[in-house]
Amino acid sequence: MASSASLRCSFLALLFLVFSGASGQLSPTFYATTCPSLESVVRDATYQAVLDEQRMGASLLRLHFHDCFVQGCDGSVLLDDAPGFVGEKTAFGNVNSVRGFEVMDTIKTKVEAACPGVVSCADILALAARDSTVKLGGPTWTVPLGRRDSMTASRDLANADLPPPFFNISGLIAGFAKKGFTAREMTALSGAHTVGFAQCQNYRDRIYNETNIDPLFAQGLKTGCASAGHATDANLAPFDGPTELVFDSSYYDNLVNRRGLIHSDQELYNPGGKQSQAMVVSQYRSSSTTFFNEFAAAMVKMGKITPLTGNDGQIRLNCRLVNT
């Protein structure tokens, strides 16, 4: 009798393991008892960072994307290069481009003060990306939590999995399909380019050599971005001026007006391109509610790309370094 009861007991324990934490599920209440102040600590620090410099909201949103697309949302993008360790910061899509690491350090320090050794850098970044979007006027969403931090990073994977600005529509669709997204979700996520800036080296070809571009728009950008030489390589232009610090749906207006800043943006709306694609752009353009809802849903989905959970990975004490 006793043995059948204990058998039943261990069967239930097994069921519990399968359907709870051990199955790798994230949950919005993951830190409810271990760090109840987490969301307010991250929100206050993120809002302050965006008040200090509005562009930081865009930068943190992008940082989360670059984390999740490379070996999952595991904080790998935050690891510094070190002797014998190659991180992702020197990959093509990141080098001299991705930013927000100091702000992540600041937020992490505050979270560690509130709840030492409990919250992963990957989770902090997921929350900061959401809070940034809200602070810039965009939609909100509930962030599932419980990610753990990687002890590895991969520059090769970053080079392979971060879509470059010269990708055409087929390349963009394939690159996002590889991470489980539909073309429609890719189009929604690209709407993040409603905020932030790009460097001349990423739109030079477009303004000097492309035909699917408003000539006045191209002309206006040429003053800050010379056709040759490297002197102006790093000069910035807004993705969605003059509202580049507001999260709105005018990015899609730009596309219809042939004012996409980088090649990949304009690929989403191209007279010679896919009709289904143009339809999605028109829908987001005419309804910012539709765009906001689908962007939020796609961000939740992005945040779930192959997280480390359970006993995998670790809770880094410093987001830049693997714990020793």
Q: Which residues are catalytic?
A: 66
Burial class (CB in 10 A: 0-12, 13-18, 19+), 52: exposed
> How many alpha carbons fall within 13 Å on the CB side of residue 261?
25
**Residue 73 in contact with ligand HEM, rule: CB under 6 A:** no
Alpha-carbon gap, residue 322 to 319, rounded angstroms: 8
**Residue 66 in contact with ligand NAG, rule: CB under 6 A:** no
Alpha-carbon gap, residue 209 to 32, rounded angstroms: 54
CB of 317 to ligand HEM, least distance (A): 26
Instruction: With beta carbons less than 8 A apart as the criterion, state whether 76 and 152 touch.
Output: yes
Q: Which residues contact 86 (CB under 8 A, 6 or more apart)?
A: 153, 155
Q: Which does 209 bind (CB under 5 to 8 A by kind): ligand NAG, ligand HEM, none?
A: ligand NAG
Out of 6, 96, 142, 227, the only residue in the binding site for ligand NAG (CB under 6 A) is 227
Beta bridge partners of 308: 148
**Residue 204 in contact with ligand NAG, rule: CB under 6 A:** yes
**Residue 164 in contact with ligand NAG, rule: CB under 6 A:** no
**Residue 94 in contact with ligand HEM, rule: CB under 6 A:** no
CB of 123 to ligand HEM, least distance (A): 17
Q: How many chain residues are in contact with ligand HEM, going by CB under 6 A?
A: 25
Out of 76, 120, 190, 277, the only residue in the binding site for ligand HEM (CB under 6 A) is 190
Q: Peptide bond before 163: cis, by omega within 30 degrees of 0?
A: no
Q: Peptide bond before 271: cis, by omega within 30 degrees of 0?
A: no
**Residue 276 in contact with ligand NAG, rule: CB under 6 A:** no
Q: Which residues contact 37 (CB under 8 A, 6 or more apart)?
A: 114, 115
**Residue 205 in contact with ligand NAG, rule: CB under 6 A:** yes
> Rule CB under 6 A: which residues touch ligand HEM?
55, 58-59, 61-62, 65, 97, 99, 163-165, 167, 172, 189-190, 192-193, 195-199, 202, 262, 264
> Rule CB under 6 A: which residues touch ligand NAG?
168, 170-171, 204-205, 208-209, 227
